[in-house]
Each structure stands twice: as C-alpha cells, then as structure tokens.
Amino acid sequence: MRFQTPLVPATLIRRYKRFLADIRLDDGREVTAHCANPGSMLGLAEEGMRIWIEPNDDPKRKLKWAWKLVDHGAGHFTGVDTALPNRALKAALMAGDVPGLTGYDTVRPEQKYGQNSRIDFLLQGADRPDAYVEVKSVTLSRQPGLAEFPDSVTARGRKHLEELALVAQGGQRAVMLYLVQRTDATRVTLAADIDPAYAAAAQVAAAAGVEFMALDCTITPEAVRLNRPLPFAQS
C-alpha cells in the first residue's frame, strides 16, 4: 500500500498525549504531527530520532502532518501507524495472498462477535468453518532480530485472546495474527515480562485451539507491503 503523498524526513522532538508529536523539519521549522498509535511506542519515541511524516492539505484535519515511520538507518524502518497494516492486510486477504488464510470466498472486516467485541476480519467460505482473525501491530524490539508484543499492558488484547479461545472451542477457526511493522525482525515472541497476564492468556488460547501466526512487512518511505511469514514462539 503506497502512502497517499510522498513522505518527508524530520527529527522527533517529543511525543505526548499519545496522539501528538512535535517534530523538526529539515528546513528548521517545528510542527506538530498526528501519531496514529495508542501504544507506549517503547524504544520508538526518543528525542532526536529520525522519522518520516506525511503531509496533507485536507481542510477537515486539524494537523497537516502525520507521523508514519521511524528510520533506524541502514535501510531499516518501523511503521508507527497501527491502521495502515490492517488496510494492506485486507487487500491481501481479499486477493488470497496471505499464507495460511487462502481459499475463503468473503472477507468481512470489523464483525461483531463474543461479548461486545469486534473481530478484525471474518473469513467465510463454502464447506469450511469460518475463520476469525484478530490482528495486532508489532513494533517493539529489545533484542536484535526479535520482535515482541505487547509493548505495554493490554487488557483489551487479553480479552481478544479469551474471545478467540471461545471461538475455537465452538468449532470455528480462530487466528491471532501478529503483523510486524519492523524490517529488522526475523522472529516474533511475547513480551511476558511486560504483560504476564497477556502471555498467560495466550497459553490458554493456544491450548483451546487458537492459531498463532506472524507476518512481516516491507517498509520504505514510499509504501508498506506485506511480506513473509515469520517464526512465532510464545516464549
């Protein structure tokens, strides 16, 4: 999925109130950008980091810039917009291009299920169980090559695992898909030290039949595209 307008390099001054970031453009101007990431962004929001932002001229938007990437150098990037990969994943699911999730006739996003929950994608096809696919964006890395989820305590994420376990016990297919928005990751695991309750819920979900998958992305200042499956281990 290509960015709507060409990204512009900048330097992070600070991120605050979760969705705001003060940045410095290369011409010296200081502006405020929207940050579409409600997580802690551990390791990604330090002063002086090189980032990429997207300009817009939409009169309905208060902020004229949106923070999209962190530039780690050496050609490696992390995507910080948690909504972008879901849009790319939807297109790939509809095209039947996601390994392990092919052969379904319909792809329905944001469907109600469980106790006041919405599944990211409901896949349906003739003569096969429905597949409930929950997607989490992964941006944390504290060891070279290792991506981790979550980057903060997530009661909502734990609830999703519990809902998926019930789906699997009911005979439908339940999939927890970790979409890794880092180009420097080669494997994925759970950050049990950050959220032990989430890691415990994942073990219960796996025992109930929930499938755990991970995909990485190709990320450049021009586009974000789904790439390949990554090995996932719960610990």
CA distance 11 to 143: 24
Cα dihedral sign, 99-212-113-110: negative
Give the predicted TM-score (pTM) of the model: 0.94
State the DSSP code for 116. T
| Mean pLDDT of the residues in the chain | 94
Q: Strand, helix or coil at 150? A: coil
Q: Is the distance from CB of 234 to CB of 191 less than 8 angstroms?
A: no
Residue bearing the bigger pLDDT, 127 or 219: 219
Q: Strand, helix or coil at 16? A: strand
DSSP secondary structure letters along 140-173: EEEETTEEEE-SS--HHHHHHHHHHHHHHHTTSE
Question: In which band, very low, low, confident or very high, does the pLDDT at 38 lie, cut at 50, 70 and 90?
Answer: confident
The two three-digit tokens of residue 171, written as one number: 């005979």
CA distance 154 to 157: 5
